[in-house]
Amino acid sequence: MKKKILITGASKGIGKSIAQTLSNGDFELFVTGRDQTRLNETAQKTGAKAIEINLLENNACEKILSQTGPVDILINNAGEYIWAPVEKITDEQISRIFKLNLEIPYKLITLFTKQMKENKWGRIINIGSISGSVGEANASLYSASKSGLIGMSKALALELAEHGITINVINPGWVKTDLIDNPCIDLEEELECIPQKRFIHPDEIAKLTEYLISDEAKGITGQSLNICAGLSLG
């Protein structure tokens, strides 16, 4: 039987690229997003089943589970970035960013691990950020939410190890997607700070994901893997 994979936030960007890479016929794919047109495009290209949902709405995770049933592989990718000095951050932003970037991934994990444990096999990938790994000025809220993913993944890796479940965090550096299409970010300036003088391509994240969910990577768990063209080196 084909393994079932859920990828959140696959209507565009990194999630779409992950869906395309994993649409090799080996898996049954489920993809989520809010933008119906873009999501259907991903679904058509990959043969995935589309679940149109705003992850911030009530009971979003339960609604997803009701459409997917148990999955073998969970890829928590959907996320939002906020660039703002700390004193400008609002209460609404605090709850929204923590909910989308940390609470929803955790909630989905609580819903899907029961069956993974029974199967004695599971793979969980959380898409973090280099900001959560080393910190980013003017992105403290985003960094905090992504650091939370790292702590959560380390703890769960210990808890779930004997059940054949691995959980890892991939921390991308700058990837040119809509997420960073922001007038406050000067990409030319950012490029100068990247040791390899290039942005990460979404396919690089997708290929690492493909490896981490494979049987060859069964020994890798609880890791926080930076894929950032050297940015984390300072």
Ligand X SMILES: NC(=O)c1ccc[n+]([C@@H]2O[C@H](COP(=O)([O-])OP(=O)(O)OC[C@H]3O[C@@H](n4cnc5c(N)ncnc54)[C@H](OP(=O)(O)O)[C@@H]3O)[C@@H](O)[C@H]2O)c1
Query: What residues act catalytically?
Result: 142
| Footprint on residues 73-102 left by ligand X (CB under 6 A) | 77-81, 100
Q: How many residues bind ligand X (CB under 6 A)?
A: 30
Nearest to 57 by CA among 112, 107, 110, 128: 107
Part in contact with ligand X (CB under 6 A); list of ranges 62-70, 71-79, 110-118, 152-160: 71-79
Give the chain's radius of gyration (CA, Å): 17
Distance CA 185, CA 189 (A): 8
Residue 35 sits in the site that holds ligand X (CB under 6 A):
yes
Token reading at 82: 């906020």
Nearest to 5 by CA among 153, 158, 224, 206: 206
Residue 46 sits in the site that holds ligand X (CB under 6 A):
no
The only residue of 4, 5, 7, 13 in contact with ligand X, by rule CB under 6 A: 13
Between 77 and 153, CB nearer to ligand X = 77
Between 11 and 153, CB nearer to ligand X = 11
Residue 179 sits in the site that holds ligand X (CB under 6 A):
yes
30-55: string of b/e by CB count within 10 Å (b at 16+)? bbbbeeeebbebbbeebebebbebeb
Residue 107 sits in the site that holds ligand X (CB under 6 A):
no
Residue 148 sits in the site that holds ligand X (CB under 6 A):
no
Residue 178 sits in the site that holds ligand X (CB under 6 A):
yes
Token reading at 98: 């923590």
The only residue of 4, 6, 9, 61 in contact with ligand X, by rule CB under 6 A: 9
Neighbour tally for 231: CB within 10 Å: 23
Residue 62 sits in the site that holds ligand X (CB under 6 A):
no
Q: Tell me how far, at minimum, the Cβ of 8 lies from ligand X, in Å.
A: 6
Strand (E) positions, 24-162? 27-33, 49-52, 73-76, 122-127
Q: Tell me how far, at minimum, the Cβ of 152 lies from ligand X, in Å.
A: 14
Q: Give me the phi and psi of 69, to 5 degrees please.
A: 70, -170
Q: What are the residues binding ligand X (CB under 6 A)?
A: 9-15, 33-35, 38-39, 54-56, 77-81, 100, 127, 129, 172, 174-175, 177-180
